[in-house]
Amino acid sequence: MSRMRRRVAITGIGCVTPIGTGVDALWEGLRAERSAVTAITRFDASIFRSRCNAQVDFDPTHYLDERRVKRLDRFGAFSVVSAMLALKDAKLDLDQVDRDRVGTMMGTALGGVGYAEEQAGRFMQGGLRAVDATLALAVFGGASSCNIAIEFGITGPNSTNAMSCASGTIAIGEAFRRVRDGEVDVMLGGGAEAPLATLCFGAFALIRAMSTRNDEPERASRPFDTDRDGFVMGEGASVLVLEAWDHAVARGAHIYAELAGYGTTNDAHHMTAPLPDGTQAARCITLALADADVSPADVSYVNAHGSATPLNDPTETLAIKRALGAHASRIPVSSTKGYYGHALGASGAIEAAISALALDRKWIPPTLNLETPDPACDLDYVPQHGREASPDVVLSNSFGFGGINASLVLRRA
C-alpha cells in the first residue's frame, strides 16, 4: 500500500565541535575561518608519525547533573548534550507531542572504544575492581541513541549504525525516511564520535591515513590541496531535529531547511580505497537527487566529504562530475574538515548541520588551507574565505571505509 510522502523540515541543530558547541557557536566558528587543529595534548603521541588532532573543549557538567555524567563516557555525553541542544534550539516541548511518534537514530564509527581503551589500562594496573562498572553499557555503539532515548523519554524508532565515516549521514537519512513515510512525526538524527585515545589514534596511524604536518597543525588538514597528506582526527557530535513539515508549521517552528533526499551505495571494492572511477559514489549522489526530485542543474552548492586523503579527494571530484555533469563546474564546492578535522562517524552529521545553516544564513563556508589546488580536483573548490550566496539546493556527501557512500539533499525552506 503506497503512502503519501511528507515533507521533512530541519527545525533544530545541536552540536559539540572543536570550533564551537551549540548552533550559534558553530556558526561563529565557521565565520571566523580559523582551524581548530592543534598538537595532541590528551596523550603521548610521540611514538606516532602523526601528532595533531582537533579536540573539543567540553565539560558535560555544564549541561547535565553530575550523577548523570557519572553514567556516561565522553561518547555518551557528546550524544546526549548534542540532542539536548538540538531540542532546545527547535523549541520542541516533548510533553506536547506523542513520544511514541518521536525517535532517534545516530551513527558512530567507533562508539565507546576510546573509553574501553582507558578502562583496559585500569584493568591491567588494578584488576577488575579498578574498572568502571558502567563499561559494558558505555562501549557499544547503540549507547548513543539509547542514552538519548532514556534522557528524553523518546519511545519511537531507535538505532545506531556503525558505517564508518558515513554513519552520521546514514543516520540522518534513515531518520528522514521515517518522518517522510509517516511512521513518526519527529526524529533526532545525527552522529557522535570520541576517538582521541592512544590506540584508537594509533590504529589509523598504522595505516598511514593521517597527516604528518606536525609542525603546522592548523595547516595539516588540506582538502583538495596538492600538498595534502591525510586527514586529521577530530571528535564531536551533531544532532538534527527532523520534523514533519506540517507539524513544524503548526507549532510555529523556525525551519532551517527542508531535508529532501537521501541515497546510499557501496563500492564493493576495498576496505580503505575508494573505487577509482567513482561510479558508485556518483550513483549515490544520483539516487539522492532523484529521491529529492531535483535535477543536477538544481544543485547550487556541494558540501564535500573532502577528507584530505590522497585517494578520496580526486575520486570525490570525479564522482561529483559524473553525477552533475557539466553543471558541476558552475557551482561552489567546499570541504569544512579544515576547520575541525575528521570526526569519523560524526563528520557527516556536522556537515549536514553546516549545509542547513548555509541555506538558512546565505553564506557558503570555505575550504581552509586550500592554497594550491590539485589539478585532479578541478571543480570550484571555495578556498580560504567564504562567499555570500543564496543556494537553493545543497548536496552533502560522506564516504567511508568499507566503500560506504551516503548523500543528503537539502532545499532552502
List, by residue number, the catalytic residues. 165, 305, 342
First to last CA, the chain: 30
C-alpha 294/C-alpha 200 separation (Å) is 40
C-alpha 201/C-alpha 214 separation (Å) is 15
Q: Cβ distance 347 to 171 under 8 Å?
A: no
C-alpha 190/C-alpha 239 separation (Å) is 4
Q: Which of 286, 266, 290, 78 is nearest to 190 (CA)?
A: 78
Helices within 329-375 (DSSP H only): 337-340, 347-361
DSSP 171: H
List CB contacts of 273: < 8 A, sequence separation 6 or more.
Answer: 311
Q: Which long-range contacts (CB under 8 A, 24 or more apart) does 175-180 make?
A: 175/103, 175/104, 175/105, 175/240, 175/242, 176/8, 176/242, 176/259, 176/262, 176/408, 177/262, 178/103, 178/105, 179/6, 179/8, 179/242, 179/243, 179/244, 180/5, 180/6, 180/7, 180/8
- Cα dihedral 252, 255, 260, 265, rounded to 10, equals -120
Is residue 410 classed as helix, strand or coil in its secondary structure? strand
User: Which amino acid is located at 31 in the chain?
Assistant: R
Helices within 71-210 (DSSP H only): 74-90, 113-126, 135-138, 143-152, 167-180, 198-206
Q: Report CA 97 to chain centroid distance, whole Å.
A: 27
Q: Which cell goes with 177?
A: 525516511
DSSP 197: S
